[in-house]
Each structure stands twice: as structure tokens, then as C-alpha cells.
Amino acid sequence: MNKTVLIIQREYLSRVKKRSFLLTTILVPLVIIGFYAAIIAISISGSSDTQKVAVIDQSNLFDGKIPEDKDDKTPYTLIQNETEQSFKDKYKELGYSSFLFIPQTDITHPQGLKLHSPSAVSLSAKSKIENRVNKAIEMKRLSIAQIDPEKYKAINSDISIDNAVDSASGEKKSVAGVAYAVSFAAGLLIYMILLIYGMMVMRGVMEEKVNRIAEVIVSSVKPFQLMLGKIIGIGAVGLTQFGIWIILVIGLQFILPLIFPALFHQMAEQAANNPAMQQGGGASTLLTITEGLKNLPLAKIIFCFIFYFLGGYLLYASVFAAVGSVVSEDQQEAQQLVFPIMMPIILGFVIMTKAVNDPDSGLAVFGSLFPLTSPIVMMGRISYDVPWWQLALSMLLLILTFLSFTWLTAKIYRTGILLYGKKITWKEMWKWAMRKS
Amino acid sequence: MNILEVQHLKKYFATQKAVDDISFSIERGSIFGLLGPNGAGKTTLIRMITGIFYPDEGEITLDGRKFDPINDVVNIGYMPEERGLYKKMKIGEQAVYLARLKGLGKEESIERVKQWFIKFEMQSWWNKKIEDLSKGMGQKLQFVTTVLHQPKLIILDEPFSGLDPVNSNLIKDEIYNLARNGSTIIFSTHRMEQVEEICDHIILVNKGKKILDGSVSQVKQQFKENLFSVGLDTIPEFGTSGSFEVIGRKENTLFVKINQGYRPNDVLQYFLSQNVGINSFSELLPSLNDIFIKLVEGTPATRQFQTVTA
């Protein structure tokens, strides 16, 4: 066992000491910081659009004046004495990003409205403009129907519903969006881990085989020790990386308020003034996120994340190691053999994207129990309340599968690592795995 | 006393009898040549002796005890034909790592690596990476890592390939040195002139079976063809002599093959009776190369696959 520790040490240190490890470990949090910064930047700037829209209103929908609107700060300018044809060539020079042409049209069946722009306008910009025109048309129709606009506004209802989740730990304010995001992110992370670290194990095994190091090493240690040492060593690299990231992200939570004091002040104020928050202002979005995070069972999520990371990694790493051991120099050969392994991982990811939307569907439950997909799919369900028996069963199945896979793949590895020059098929690998030792 | 005894060793693969009932023994402190054409089963044989493979049948006795693949690791040093080292690892660290895998302690490993590096004038290499080394330099390092833990049995598969004459001699001297200090060396190669020079005892393996076993001089005696060279003042006109046939000449030297039932004396007597001055007379023993080719020739260059029913 002592020798396995030596191998783990080497595998771990030789990777952690590499420059690329330092780079990815630092770069990824930077990307996360960048993401945070982008959210903040967007929140601070609000929804101020730099679009300037000119309107030619031949139906006189707006009665010569475009009303202010709290959701739409786009500056609209009514243009008089121009036709669609004549203005089409000028609006860019006059500094407008687009112009809306409203022809003479019937108020009950308006048609022929056209938005001119040099390039396609964004969906949100288009829907804002449509919204404006719709409102104007509604007003016109109201007056035709002789309904008082004030009365109409009073009748009109616009509410948002808070979803209260009644779980054992008491009533919590649901934060579906945050739960969705956390689940999705965790599932995505596990998916990437399985692929990245699995491939890392495979490349490591291939390196040993191609450079014929394996033969030297297995004259000193058992092949299983070499395989185990590599898998554990690389897994430890992964854990180290996550450890660093978690520390950085938590550190960030504390540092951010110091960097953007104004923003958080504003947030706190808003929260005080308006406890039943609506979406809208950017700062409150951020507050919703922090609020939502507080309501999630974070300890459970982190525990499960680590468990499924380890379980999934150990399960797939042993398979990747077996594949690495049967491949001789050819990269393409490796690709072919890797593909069937990636299938369940990708399948897991697909099920996970469904599971975050519908965590209790049959597919999601199956995917989170089936050990080849459970590490990914269960993470997709984890921020919603997963029944304890399902969680326990899923973990048990994962452990059992990982143990039996390691046992089988070790037999493939032992044979493959010393075999050169021959192309190995899945059938042969199966035979090796099933052989009695 | 024999350091290694191999008895009726068999290893069958699905399509080949890689090693088919081979027995031999190696004396302590000797240099043992394991010869054979490509694909004869040498590597499989070596892998069983190093504990990488378990034999299907047969027994290996190391140093008087039954060979134990796990605990005897420390007694064996193996340098495979295709050499392997981690390309990105520093040379010193790598040597220490391999020594520790053999079971040496950390301090001891470092100490020994340093000693060997000084011996081979490699001190300045410690922090270099393998990928910076030439093939020959890598070879020296591999040799060092093989013998670092002072194994009782050292197995070298083509140790001189890629080495220049100077470094070849360095390694060769070290092999003699190790043998003198009680290590036993199994030396596997195709280079027959090296075998003749270095080995005490050889076996020749072909198609999974042992076809020759003996000391170098024994083997040569066994395969001699009664060929002699006779150096003469002038080459006389020949009548016929029943005692020998001339099979070649080079300037004033005749190469003769003595016929069945005659002795070298009969040849000399013939030339004496011809009244020719004899300058030299010596037996021509076959080279190992000739013996090798003779024994292996006629068998297919690479082994055909066969179905094994075992």
C-alpha cells in the first residue's frame, strides 16, 4: 500500500506543480469574477438603451405625443412631414438607430407597420416597440368603445404570485430561478469534471504505455496499484482545484461589498423599502440571488456535490484508464474507443437539463438512480427536495457500480498496459474483464 | 549455488504458445545470455521472471526459495528493451521515485542516486527533464535506475542499443563490476559479438522452446565443423588427399575441412610430406552468429499464429 501512496504523490505533485494547473485554477475564478462583474455592470447601468427611434405616425396613433413609460426608456421622436421613402435614406445620418413607420391604417385591423433599421434589431427592442404601439392602439380602441382609460387601468390586473414551498424545515420562499441555476451549474460542473478528469486519466495511462514506462513500473508494483494511484492522484488534483475555487468564491462574497459599497447600500435600502420585491431593477436581481442562495440547503448541496464528484469520477476514471491501457500510439483509435464511454455522460447531461425543469418526472428519477448518469442528473435535482430514499439508493448504486467497474477494468488494464501493436476491440476487452484471475 | 532456477515454465496466450516448457538455471555471479529471434518468447519469459506475468505452469526458484512476485521485487532489476521514463519529470526525481518504488527509503534513494550520478558523471543532470536528454543519455539513466537498489538479479534487454562506444564500454565495465560483486546478470540481445564477449553461459530460445543451452565455449565445440586454417609458405599443387577437403583459400592460407575419421595430425602430415613450410595451423570455431543463424534459419521469420488447445 505504501507504494500506492508513492504513486499517488507523484501523480498529484507532477500535475499540481505544472504551470497549466496554476493557470486554470486562477483563470476559472477570474471568469467567474468576470461573470459577477458583468451582472453588476448590467444592474448598475439598468436598462438604459442607447437606441434612438424615430416614428412616422401617419395614423396618428400617438396623438402627436409619445407618453413616458417606466419600463421603456427608449427616446422616441415623432417625425413630421416625411414619407417612408424619403426618410429611409436619412434616418441614419440624423442619428437614429431605427425608425418605425406607421401607415394610414384601420384601427381595428392595423397592418403595414414597419420598423426600418440598418441591421436586425434585438428581440427585446422589437418587443418594447410593439408594446408601445399596442398600448397606443388599445387607447384608441378604448376611446372608440367610449371606455374611460382611467377606469380601464383600474380594472386591469397585474399581479405576480409568490410560490411558497412547504417542506419539513418550514415554509420557505421559493426561489425557482436560483434553484434552477444552482442545479444546472452543479450538473454542468460534474459533467465537465467527468469529461476533463476522465480524459486526463486516460492520457496519463496512454503516456505510460506509449513511453513504455508501464513495464518498468509494473516490475516494481502491481498494475492495480499503478492504476489506483493514478486515479486517486488525479482525483486529488481535482479536489484541490475545487477547494481553491470555493475559497476564492467565498472570499469574493466578502470582498465584493467592499469594492462596490454603493451598490450593496442601494440593495439594502431597496430591500427595506420594498420587501415584496418585483423583478426590474438590477440591484434587486442580485438581492434575489443572495436571498435565494440563503434558502437553498447549501450544506446538503455541497456534500452531494463532493460525493457525486468522487463517485462519478472514480466510476468513469477506471473505465477511461482501461481504454487508455488498450490504445497504442494512435490518437484516433483512442477517440473511437472513448466515444461509447462519453455517450452515457452526454445522456446524463441531456437528462439533467430536463430534470432541472421537472425534477420529479420519471425520466429524472430514473436518471438520478441509474449509476452511469446519476452523478450528473442528481445534481440537477438536488436543489429541489429529493426524497431521502432516492438519494440513499442512488448513492448506494453508485458505490456498488464503481466498485465492480474498478474490479473489471483493472483486469483489462492489467492485460492492456503490456500489450503492443495490436488493435483491441471492445469484444476482447470484455473477454479480459470477464476472465477469472 | 544457482541464483535462479526455472523449471518447465509455460505461458500460453490465446493464439500462441509464447513459452512452451522451458527449464534452465543460472549460477550466482554469472553473466547469462538469453538469445533468440524476434518473437521467440524471450520477453514473455523475462516478464515471468520479473513477476509481471504469472506462468501457466512451472516453477521459478530465486535464491533457493520459491519466487514471490511481490516481495522479490527488491531482488530484481529489469531494464526492458523499449525504454521508458516519464518525459516531463526531472531526472533526479525520477531516479529517486523508481528506487523508492523498489522499496528503498527516501534518504537512501537520494544518496544512491547521487553516488551513481557521480560515477557516470551525470551530476549536472539532476534538474533536467528526460525530454532534454539524448537517447544515449536516457539509456545511461535507465541503467542507473535498474541497478540502483543493488538487486541480486539484473535483467538487461538490449542494454547497448543507441549507445556510442565510449558509453557502451562504461556500461559494459559496470556489468562486469556488478557480476564481480555478486549480482547475476541476464543479458538478452541479438548482437552475438557482444554475447561472445560478455556472457559465460547462454541459452537459445526459438518458438517458445529452448533449443540450446551451454557455456559459450561448449556451444562452439558442439557446433564445430572440423574447419581449420593452414598458413603455408607456398600453396602446393594438389593431388588428392583423403583426409581433408579444401573449402577456400586467401593468399597463402588454406581453409580445410577434415573428413570424418581423420585428425588434424593427418592434415599436417600431408603438408609435411609435400615439403611445404607451415606457418600457422588453427581450428576455426563457428561464431555464435553462425550458430544462431544455422539453428533459427528455416523456421519462419515471424511466428505464425496458431490455435492453442491447452
- What is the reported pLDDT for A173? 46
pLDDT of amino acid A277: 43
List the single range of A37-41, B45-49, B80-84, B298-302 with lowest mean pLDDT: B298-302
Residue A65, in any domain of the structure: yes
Among A158-167, A267-276, A384-393, the minimum mean pLDDT is found in A267-276
pLDDT at A23 over 90: no
Residue contact A219–B70, C-beta within 8 A: no
- Asked whether the predicted pLDDT for residue A413 surpasses 80, the reply is yes
Q: Are residues A325 and A406 in the same domain?
A: yes
CA distance A435 to B13: 13
Q: How far apart are CA A263 and CA A44, in angstroms?
A: 8
Indicate whether B262 and B160 sit together in one domain. Answer: no
**What percent of chain B shows pLDDT beyond 70?**
95
A213 to chain B: which residues are within 8 Å by CB?
Answer: 84-86
pLDDT digits (tens, 9 = 90+) for A183-236: 888 888 889 888 889 999 998 998 888 888 888 888 888 888 999 999 999 999
Please return the burial class of B153, using the count of CB atoms within 10 Å of its CB with bins 0-12, 13-18 and 19+: buried
Pairing of strands B2-12, B57-62: antiparallel
Residue B238 DSSP symbol: P
Identify whether residues B89 and B196 lie together within a single domain.
Answer: yes
Is A13 part of any domain?
yes
Same domain, A325 and A252: yes
Helix (H, G, I), strand (E, B) or coil at B116: helix
**pLDDT beyond 60 at A169:** no
Looking at the structure, do residues B67 and B210 belong to the same domain, yes or no?
yes
CATH number at residue B253: 3.30.70
Asked whether residue B304 carries a pLDDT value surpassing 70, the answer given is no
Q: Does residue B258 lie within any of the structural domains?
A: yes
Higher pLDDT, A343 or B297: A343
Per-window interface: B 279-298 vs A, CB < 8 A: none
pLDDT of residue B112: 92
Domain match, B136 and B10 both: yes
Question: Does residue B304 form part of some domain?
Answer: no
Instruction: Determine, for residues A217 and B50 on separate chains, whether the beta-carbon distance falls below 8 Å.
Output: no
User: Count of CB atoms within 10 A of residue A435's CB?
Assistant: 10
Q: Chain-wide mean pLDDT for chain A?
A: 80
Most confident of A57-66, A285-294, B151-160, B260-269: B151-160
**Nearest CA to A31 among A245, A264, A280, A257?**
A245
Q: Band the pLDDT of A417: cuts 50, 70, 90.
A: confident
Q: Is the dihedral of CA A253, A307, A170, A172 positive or negative?
A: positive
Distance from CA of B81 to the nearest CA of A (A): 9
- Residue of A285, A292, A251 whose CA lies nearest to A267: A285
Is residue B309 domain-resident?
A: no
The predicted pLDDT at position A321 comes to 92
Please check the confidence at residue A168 and state whether its pLDDT lies above 60. no
Domain identity same for B264 and B158: no
For chain A, give the number of residues: 437
Q: Does any domain span residue B72?
A: yes
Question: Alpha-carbon distance A256 to A36, whole Å?
Answer: 9
Helix (H/G/I), strand (E/B), else coil: B288: helix
The last residue of one of the domains, among B215, B249, B265, is B215
pLDDT tens per residue across span A90-125? 888 888 888 888 888 887 888 888 888 887 777 777
**pLDDT at residue B212 greater than cutoff 70:** yes
Is residue B40 pLDDT above 80, yes or no? Answer: yes
Q: For B124, which DSSP code? A: G
Cross-chain Cβ contact B98/A220 below 8 Å:
yes
Is A219 an 8 Å CB contact of chain B?
Answer: yes
- Residues A245 and A353 grouped into a single domain: yes
Same domain, A29 and A62: no
With 90 as the cut, is the pLDDT of residue A393 above it?
Answer: yes
Confidence label for A292 from pLDDT (cuts 50, 70 and 90): low
Q: Give A126 to chain B, closest Cα distance, Å.
A: 57
| DSSP at B235 | P
Residue A159 lies in a domain: no
Give yes or no: residues A73 and A181 share one domain: no
Three cell numbers, residue A157:
390586473
A203: contact with B, CB 8 A cutoff: no
Q: Does A163 reside within a domain? A: no
Q: Can you give the CATH number for the domain in which B181 is found?
A: 3.40.50.300
Per-residue pLDDT, averaged over A20-39, amounts to 80
Q: Domain check: are B231 and B210 in the same one?
A: no
pLDDT score recorded for residue B192: 83
Q: What is the dihedral of CA A323, A328, A329, A331, to 10 degrees?
A: -40
| Domain end among B215, B243, B275 | B215
Domain match, A196 and A127 both: no
Angle at B204 between CA B70 and CA A210, to 5 degrees: 50
Kindly state the cell numbers that stand for A226.
499503478
Question: Which residue range(s) make up the domain with B280?
Answer: 225-284
Beta partners for B62? B4, B65
Residue B91, in any domain of the structure: yes
Q: Is residue A398 part of a domain?
A: yes
* Residue B22, domain member (yes or no): yes
Residue A166 lies in a domain: no
More confident residue, A283 or B5: B5
pLDDT at B251: 82
Which residues in chain A have their CB less than 8 angstroms from residue B142's CB?
Answer: 216
Q: What was the ipTM of the complex prediction?
A: 0.78
- pLDDT at res. A171: 43
The answer to the question of residue A337 being in a domain is yes
For residue B84, the chain A residues in CB contact (below 8 A) are: 208, 211-216
Domain hosting A285: range is 2-42+176-434
Task: State yes or no: pLDDT of A140 exceeds 60.
Answer: yes
- Do A64 and A25 belong together in one domain? no
Residues A394 and A320 in one domain: yes
Asked if the Cβ–Cβ distance from A207 to B47 is below 8 Å, we say no
B148 and B51 co-located in one domain? yes
Count the neighbouring beta carbons within 10 Å of the beta carbon of residue B183. 20
Do residues A233 and A11 make contact, with C-beta atoms less than 8 angstroms apart? yes
Parallel, antiparallel, or unpaired for β B76-79 and B153-157?
parallel
Mutate to test the interface with A, among B53, B86, B135, B148 (most CBs of A within 10 A): B86
C-alpha–C-alpha distance, residues B248 and B253, integer Å: 9
Cβ atoms of residues A371 and A313 within 8 Å: no
Residue B307 belongs to a domain: no
Higher pLDDT: A401 or A385? It is: A401
Give the confidence band of B300 by pLDDT, cuts at 50, 70, 90: low
The reply to whether B172 and B242 lie within a common domain is no
CA distance A279 to A47: 12
Q: How far is B71 from chain A (nearest CA, A)?
A: 10
Burial of A19 (0-12, 13-18, 19+ CB in 10 A): exposed
Within a domain: residue A414? Answer: yes
Total structural domains within chain A: 2
Report helix, strand or coil for B23: strand
Q: Considering its fold, how many domains does chain B have in total?
A: 2
Find out whether A398 and A371 touch, Cβ atoms under 8 Å: yes
Q: Does the structure show a pLDDT above 50 at A279? A: no
State the pLDDT at residue A245.
79
| A6 contact B CB<8A | yes
A33 vs B120, residue with greater confidence: B120
Q: In this model, does residue B30 exceed pLDDT 50? A: yes
User: B267 vs B185, which has greater pLDDT?
Assistant: B185
* Model confidence at A312: pLDDT above 50: yes
Measured between CB atoms, which of A213, A220, A222 is closest to B102? A220
Kindly state whether residues B270 and B235 are assigned to the same domain. yes
The residue among A151, A184, A200 that closes a domain is A151
Task: Find the mean pLDDT for residues B74-78.
Answer: 88
If asked whether residues A218 and A241 sit together in one domain, one would say yes
Residues A236, A336, single domain; the answer is yes
What pLDDT does residue B305 have? 60
Per-residue model confidence (pLDDT) at position A48: 47
Residue B200 and residue B230 in one domain:
no
Give residue A212's region: left, alpha or beta (phi > 0; psi -120 to 50): left
Measured over the CA atoms of residue A399, residue A403, residue A405 and residue A409, the dihedral's sign is: positive
User: Which H, E and C letters describe chain A, residue by residue?
Assistant: CHHHHHHHHHHHHHHHCCHHHHHHHHHHHHHHHHHHHHHHHHHHHCCCCCCCEEEEECCCCCCCCCCCCCCCCCCEEECCCCCHHHHHCCCCCCCCCEEEEECCCCCCCCCCCEEECCCCCCHHHHHHHHHHHHHHHHHHHHHHCCCCHHHHHHHCCCCCCCCEEEECCEEEECCHHHHHHHHHHHHHHHHHHHHHHHHHHHHHHHHHHHCCHHHHHHCCCCHHHHHHHHHHHHHHHHHHHHHHHHHHHHHHHHHHHHHCHHHHHHHHHHHHHCCCCCCCCHHHHHHHHHHHHHHCCHHHHHHHHHHHHHHHHHHHHHHHHHHHHHCCCCHHHHHHHHHHHHHHHHHHHHHHHHHCCCCCCHHHHHHHHCCCCHHHHHHHHCCCCCCHHHHHHHHHHHHHHHHHHHHHHHHHHHHHCCCCCCCCCHHHHHHHHHCCC
Instruction: Indicate if the alpha-carbon torsion angle A195, A196, A198, A203 is positive or negative.
Output: positive
State which of B170, B185, B215 marks the end of a domain.
B215
Backbone angle region of A174, left / alpha / beta, with phi > 0 → left and psi within -120 to 50 → alpha: beta
- Angle ∠(B34,B39,B44) on CA atoms, nearest 5: 65
Answer yes or no: do B165 and B241 share one domain: no
Domain boundary among A136, A151, A166: A151
Best mutation target, B50, B68, B88, B101, to test chain A (most A CBs within 10 A): B101
Q: Are residues A316 and A243 in the same domain?
A: yes
> φ and ψ at B280, to 5 degrees?
-150, 155
Are residue B68 and residue B204 in the same domain, yes or no?
yes
One-letter identity of residue A189: L
Q: Is residue B308 part of a domain?
A: no
Confidence of residue A404 (pLDDT cuts 50, 70, 90): very high
**Spatial separation of the C-alpha atoms in residues A316 and A311, rounded to whole Å:** 9
Residues A146 and A152: their CA atoms lie apart, in Å, by 11
DSSP B125-150: GTTSBGGGS-HHHHHHHHHHHHHTT-
My answer on whether A407 and A317 are in the same domain is yes
Question: Is the minimum CB–CB distance between A218 and chain B shorter than 8 Å?
Answer: yes
Pull the grid cell for residue A319. Answer: 473505465
Above 50 in pLDDT, residue A248?
A: yes
